[in-house]
Amino acid sequence: MTALVEGLKSIKKPFLITILIVLILGSGLPFVTSSYMLRVLNIAMIAYLCVLSVYVLLGMCGQNSFAQAGLWGVGAYLTANMTLKLGVSSVPAMIVAIAGTALLAFILGFAFFRLRQYYFTFATIGLMTILNGLFMNWTPVTGGALGISDIPPFQLFGFTADNETAKFFIIFLVCLIVNVIIKVLFHSPLGRSFMAIRDNELAADCLGVNSLLTKSIAFAISGALCGAAGALYAFLSGYLSYQTFTYQQSTMYLIMIMLGGTISPAGAIIGTLIISLLQEWVRPLQNYMQFIYGIGIMILMIIQPEGILGGGKALYEKYIKPRKRSPKAE
Amino acid sequence: MLDVKGLHSFYGTIEALHGVEIEVNDREIVALIGSNGAGKTTLLNSISGHVTKTGSIHFQGKDITKLAPHKISRSSLLQVPEGHHVFPGLTVEQNLLVGTTAEKGIRLRAGDNRELLDMVYEIFPRLLERRKQLAWSLSGGEQQMLAIGRALMGKPKLLMLDEPSMGLAPLIIDELFEKIVEINKNGTPVLLVEQNAHLALSVSERAYIMERGNITLSGKSADLLHDSRVTEAYLGKQKKEQEN
C-alpha cells in the first residue's frame, strides 16, 4: 500500500508543478502577444482539445477515427442552437454540448465497435461524411450553406468574454482542467483497460475487460472533448460554417498527434503548436501547404514513426539517462 | 467445478470439436494433451467464450455456455491464452493491475491491490525486480510468468493455461512448471493444455488425450504415463529408449 501511495505521489508532484508553471507562463501570454497572435493561440488550443480526443482514442485505446472534426461540429452547432434559439446561458449550453456529443459518440461507438480494427476507421469516415452533409444541408438547425452567425460570447455571472484576452483565459482554463482529467484517466483502471485493448485485445478479453463497452467509453470521452472544443469554438468565433468541420480537419488532428507523438498528451501539445504556428509563419507559401504536409508526413513516418516526443525520448534514453545513472553505479 | 458436456464447436460452418466432455474438480491439475490441430486450444477458447459452440458448460454449478467472454472471466474462470500475450506498452505492474479487471469490472478508482501484487511477486520474484519495466523488454519466460501472474490478479477459481511451455528454453520450462504446481498447491485448480506430454502427465493428477476434435482417452496421469497407447503416440521417443 505505502509503495503504491508513494508511486502516486511521485507521479503527481512533478505534474502539479508543471501545471503550475504552465498556468503562470500561460497567464502572462496575453500581455506579451499581439491580439492577432492571441487569436491564433485560441484556435490552436481548441484544436489541441480535439487532438487530445485523438490521443484518448488512438494513443490510449488504439482506435483510429476520422470523425473528430464532425464531433467537434456537433458540439459547436449544439451550443449555437442552445444559446441562440433556446436562450440557454453559456455554461449549461456547454454542458449540454459536451454531454450530447459524448452520448452520440457512445451510441455510435456501441454500433461501430462491433467492427474490429480498421473497419471501425472506415465507419468513422462514413460518419464524418454524413455529419458534414448534415451541417451543409439541414438548414433549420445548422443554417445550411450560410451557417449560423451572431452566437453570443461566453457569459458567466454578468461577466462577458467578448475580447480576445478573456476568451484566451476561458479556453486556457478548460485546457488545463482537461489535462488534469486525462492524467487521472491515464492512471485509472479504466485508462489501463484502454491501453490493454490497444496492446492486445485478446488478452484484455481474457482478463475480463469488456472490450466493446470499454472502446465505446473511450469514443464517448473523445466525443466529450470534441464537444467541449466545439462549444468553445462557437463562443470564440460567433459564426459557424459547414466548411470548418471537414474531413480534412479530422486528418489534420491525426497529423498533429502523429507529428507530436501518441505516447502522451505532451505529444498533442507539441504537434498542435508546431502545425498551428507553422500555418501562420509560412502563410506566404499557403498554396504549397498540402504538398509540404504530404512530404513531411511521409518523411516523419519513415524516420521517426513515434513522432517528435518518441524521438526525443529515444535520444534521452540513449544519451542522457546512462550518464545520470553512472555516478550512482560507481 | 468445471463440467463440459456434449461440446460441439464451430469455425463458420466447419465443426472443430465433436461432442467433447471433460470435467475439472477442486484442487486438481488436469492436463489436456494432443498433437497440433487436435482441438486443445479450440476447447479452451470455447470454454472462455471465444468460439461459437453448442452443448453445455457449467462452472461452479452455473451455466456459462451463453455468456460473453468478459462475463466468463468475471466468474473467476480465467484463461492465459497461447503465446506470450502481455501488453507490451504497459509496465509489468500495470500489466498485473489490468488483471484485477476480471474480478472488479471497469472502474475509475484504483482499489488497494497491494496484497494481490505481493502475492504474485512472491510466486514470481523476477516480476518484482522488473516491475517498472515495459513488458516488451521481458524475455519469453518472464512474459509467460507475467501472463500467468496477471491472471492470478483476478483471483481465479480455475486457471486455464494454454501451452505455457511454448517457445521457452527447457530450464525456464522446469522453473515455470514448478510455479504452476505451487499455484495449484495454494488452492487454484488448473486446466493445462500441453504438447509436451511427458511434462504435462508428470505434474497433473488426471489427463485427457485429444485427437481430431474428440477426447480419445482419459484417466489418471500416472496410469497414462505407462499406457501403451499414450506412449506410442505421444511419448514415442521414450518407448524406443525403453525397448533399447
pLDDT at position A20: 80
Asked whether residue B239 carries a pLDDT value surpassing 60, the answer given is no
Asked whether residue A313 carries a pLDDT value surpassing 60, the answer given is yes
pLDDT at position B244: 47
B26 located within any domain: yes
B91 located within any domain: no
pLDDT at position A97: 94
Nearest Cβ partner for B114 among A1, A190, A205: A1
Asked whether residue B106 carries a pLDDT value surpassing 70, the answer given is no
- Which residues from B are below 8 Å from A55, CB to CB? none
B114 with A4: Cβ contact below 8 A: yes
Q: Is the dihedral of CA B146, B149, B153, B157 positive or negative?
A: positive
B102 located within any domain: no
B106 with A217: Cβ contact below 8 A: yes
In this prediction, residue A330 has a pLDDT band, given cuts at 50, 70 and 90, of very low
b/e per residue, A47-58, with b = 16+ CB within 10 A?
A: bbbbbbbbbbbb
Determine the residue among A190, A195, A206 to mutate to test chain B binding: the one whose Cβ has the most chain B Cβ atoms within 10 Å. A206
Residue range A95-135, pLDDT digits in tens? 999 999 999 999 999 888 887 777 888 999 999 999 999 99
- The CA distance from B217 to A224, in Å, is 57
Nearest Cβ partner for B81 among A3, A196, A203: A203
Asked whether residue A293 carries a pLDDT value surpassing 90, the answer given is no
Residue range A8-40, pLDDT digits in tens? 544 567 777 877 888 788 777 777 778 788 888
B101 with A4: Cβ contact below 8 A: no
In this prediction, residue B235 has a pLDDT band, given cuts at 50, 70 and 90, of low
In this prediction, residue B29 has a pLDDT band, given cuts at 50, 70 and 90, of very high
B108 with A188: Cβ contact below 8 A: yes
Nearest Cβ partner for A206 among B48, B94, B107: B48
B144 located within any domain: no
pLDDT at position A223: 95
Nearest Cβ partner for A208 among B86, B101, B147: B101
- The CA distance from B143 to B113, in Å, is 21
> Among residues B29, B31, B70, which one has the least CA distance to residue B50?
B70
B244 vs B183, residue with greater confidence:
B183
- Which residues from A are below 8 Å from B108, CB to CB? 188-190
B130 located within any domain: no
Cβ-contact B34, B57 below 8 angstroms: no
Determine the residue among B41, B70, B153 to mutate to test chain A binding: the one whose Cβ has the most chain A Cβ atoms within 10 Å. B70
A196 with B87: Cβ contact below 8 A: yes
The grid cell for B170 is: 527447457
> Average pLDDT in the B173-183 region?
90
Asked whether residue A329 carries a pLDDT value surpassing 70, the answer given is no
Phi, psi angles (nearest 5°) of residue B160:
-110, 115
pLDDT at position A68: 93
- The CA distance from A44 to A18, in Å, is 20
Alpha helix locations (H) across chain A?
A: 2-32, 35-54, 68-85, 90-112, 118-137, 139-142, 164-187, 189-199, 201-206, 211-237, 247-260, 265-281, 289-303, 307-315, 321-329
The size of the A-B interface in CB pairs under 8 A is: 104
Alpha helix locations (H) across A138-163?
A: 139-142
B134 located within any domain: no
Nearest Cβ partner for B70 among A192, A208, A217: A208
User: For cell 507553422, what's the residue?
Assistant: A278
A116 vs A47, residue with greater confidence:
A47
**Amino acid at position A97, single letter:** A
- Which residues from A are below 8 Å from B104, CB to CB? 189
Distance (Å) of CA A292 to CA A183, A269, A278, A289, B106: 33, 21, 11, 5, 43
In this prediction, residue A322 has a pLDDT band, given cuts at 50, 70 and 90, of low
In this prediction, residue B107 has a pLDDT band, given cuts at 50, 70 and 90, of low
Structural domain that includes position B161 = 2-85+155-243
Residue range A146-189, pLDDT digits in tens? 888 888 888 888 777 778 888 888 899 899 889 888 988 888 88
Flag whether residue A181 sits within 8 Å of chain B, measured between CB atoms: no
Cβ-contact B161, B191 below 8 angstroms: yes
Asked whether residue A282 carries a pLDDT value surpassing 70, the answer given is yes
pLDDT mean across residues, chain B: 86
- The H or E element that residue B181 is part of is helix B170-185
pLDDT mean across residues, chain A: 84
When the candidates are 1.10.3470, 3.90.550, 1.20.1280, 1.10.287, the CATH number that belongs to A12-281 is 1.10.3470
User: For cell 519513415, what's the residue?
Assistant: A302
Could you give the dihedral angle defined by the CA atoms of residues A277, A281, A285 and A291, in that order, rounded to the nearest 10 degrees?
Answer: -30
A4 with B113: Cβ contact below 8 A: yes
Q: Which of residues 164-203 of B touch A (CB under 8 A)?
A: none
- Which residues from B are below 8 Å from A209, CB to CB? 70, 98, 101, 106
Q: Name, in order, each residue with C-beta under 8 angstroms of A92's C-beta and a sequence gap of 6 or more.
A: A82
Total count of domains within chain B: 1
Cβ-contact A164, A35 below 8 angstroms: yes
- The H or E element that residue B50 is part of is none
Predicted TM-score (pTM) of the model is 0.85
Nearest Cβ partner for B107 among A190, A200, A211: A190
Flag whether residue B83 sits within 8 Å of chain A, measured between CB atoms: no
Q: Name, in order, each residue with C-beta under 8 angstroms of A72's C-beta and a sequence gap of 6 or more.
A: A50, A226, A227, A229, A230, A233, A245, A249
pLDDT at position B217: 86
Residues of each domain in chain A carrying CATH 1.10.3470: 12-281
Q: By three-state DSSP, how is residue A153 classified?
A: coil
In this prediction, residue B233 has a pLDDT band, given cuts at 50, 70 and 90, of confident
The H helix count followed by the E strand count for chain B is 12, 10
- In the DSSP assignment, the letter for residue A286 is G
B118 located within any domain: no
> Average pLDDT in the B39-46 region?
90
Q: By three-state DSSP, how is residue B98 classified?
A: helix
B102 with A208: Cβ contact below 8 A: yes
Any idea what the CATH number is for the domain that residue B30 is in?
Answer: 3.40.50.300
pLDDT at position A128: 93
Residue range B146-176, pLDDT digits in tens? 999 999 998 899 999 999 888 888 888 988 9
